[in-house]
Amino acid sequence: MQKLTSQADWIARAGAVLPAGGFGNFDPGIMIARGEGSHVWDEDGNEYIDYLIGSGPMLLGHGHPEVMEAVLEQLPKGMTFFANNSKGVELAEAIVDAVPCCEQVRFVASGGEADMYAIRLARAYTGRNKILKFEGGYHGMSAEAQMSLAPSTRVNFPQAVPDSAGIPQGVADQMLIAPYNDLAAVEALLNEHKDVAAIIAEPLQRIIPAEPGYLQGLRDLCDKHAVLLIFDEIVTGFRLAYGGAQERYGVTPDICTLGKIIGGGFPLAALGASAEIMQHFDKAVVGSDKWLMQLGTLSGNPIAAAAGLKTMEVLRRKGSYDKLRAIGKSLQDMQSDALTKAGVPHQICGDETLFDIFFTKAACRDYRSAKHDDPAHNVAYNATLRRNGIFKSPGKLYPSLAVTEADLEQTQDAVLKAVEAAFLD
């Protein structure tokens, strides 16, 4: 077979064997060949500063030498066993030590799986069926999670709108949808519906911050109505702080889900809760009627566990989170300063460790308000960043600890060009 060398050739090849030409994740018009530190290269050799970082897991950057050493040490010992292994146990211990709500954890291979099982666990524990989620909240690809994730039409709350074909109406009937950052709406739903098992929320919804007191308000309402609170910390876990959003905001959920960073770049996720709640995974304790079956071929595999353990060790070192926040603040300020100077209305939305810009005067507090006044400006802005060596999602920017001063200088140059191209030309 003739060797394919150009990116265009690879894209054409992908188009023949992959629906829509991609894996369903990111722009199929770019083919990444390799990553090192804070940079990635496409198949044509173009170099980019990476602010996508695999959609979050590469917090230390690509190919971190200590993580690589840990993985290479484990590889000859075995890659997966479908059985308990010491690295997985060590990782579980480290998570329990770090995350306030976790007395026990159960491993899965992806964040979407973790969220699916968290919802099922809440139903098993409470004996109730309905789940309250927030419009625009992302919780993976399960049928429940695909309710009102990104609805293109507005409907009255709490009606659930499926974002995917193939989901039965019965799933929508068990879902209640509320606007984020609106405690009154949540309270009204809990007063009306007495069969709610859990509220599932991102403590930072995509990049929309919880308003002061909002997360504690959810905690209080859940306690009042005997409803479980699930924090989806797939993104925020070990990013906002070592103990995740629970540590950062001082609010402890009943169940949380974790992913991305805990696998160090390999497929691994987890859900955790108190031993009382987690006992539903133990048939010998709860009996067959209340037992929650869960298994997965690669759950807790030692390669991912070794990578996650080393990543977490590096993050525990003094100054790691101060450095990450300083990098994020620099990235925020350089963009806000350039846009302000150009007279462009904008909102920096998110946390220093994860954020992006909405080109609008309006406050961004929920799915319906967090939008650009003119989406074409965002398209032009991000396209110019890409042409000038910046690799990021159109809706998120992930700082990493691998970002250097030289990277920040190059990013600032790209930002100035992007502002000019999107708003001043």
pLDDT at 153: 86
DSSP string, 47-68: EEEESSGGGTT-TT-BT-HHHH
- Return residue ranges of the chain for CATH 3.40.640.10: 66-316
The dihedral formed by the CA atoms of 158, 163, 167 and 173, expressed in degrees to the nearest 10: 0
Q: Which residues of 300-323 are buried (b: 16+ CB within 10 A; e: fewer)?
A: bbbbbbbbbbbbbeebeeeeebee
What number of residues does the chain have? 425
pLDDT, tens digit (0-9, with 9 covering 90-100), for 194-210: 999 999 999 999 999 99
Q: pLDDT band at residue 370, thresholds of 50, 70 and 90?
A: very high
Percentage of the chain exceeding pLDDT 90:
98
The residues carrying an active-site annotation are 138, 232, 260
- φ/ψ region of 147 (left if φ > 0, alpha if ψ in -120 to 50, else beta) reads beta
Domain 31-63+319-424 has CATH 3.40.190.10: no
Mean pLDDT for the stretch of residues 256-267: 97
Instruction: Kindly report the average pLDDT of the chain as a whole number.
Output: 97
Q: What pLDDT band is residue 245 in, cutting at 50, 70 and 90? A: very high
Mean pLDDT in residue range 34-52? 98
Asked if residue 75 has pLDDT above 70, the reply is: yes
Q: For domain 66-316, give the CATH number.
A: 3.40.640.10
Amino acid symbol at 306: A
For every residue of 25-42, DSSP letters joined together read SS-TT--EEEEEBTEEEE
pLDDT digits (tens, 9 = 90+) for 350-363: 999 999 999 999 99
pLDDT at residue 425, as a whole number: 77
By percentage, how much of the chain surpasses pLDDT 70?
99
pLDDT the model gives residue 4: 62
User: What span, in angstroms and rounded, lies between the C-alpha atoms of 36 and 64?
Assistant: 8
Would you state the pLDDT for residue 317? 98
What pLDDT band is residue 213 in, cutting at 50, 70 and 90? very high
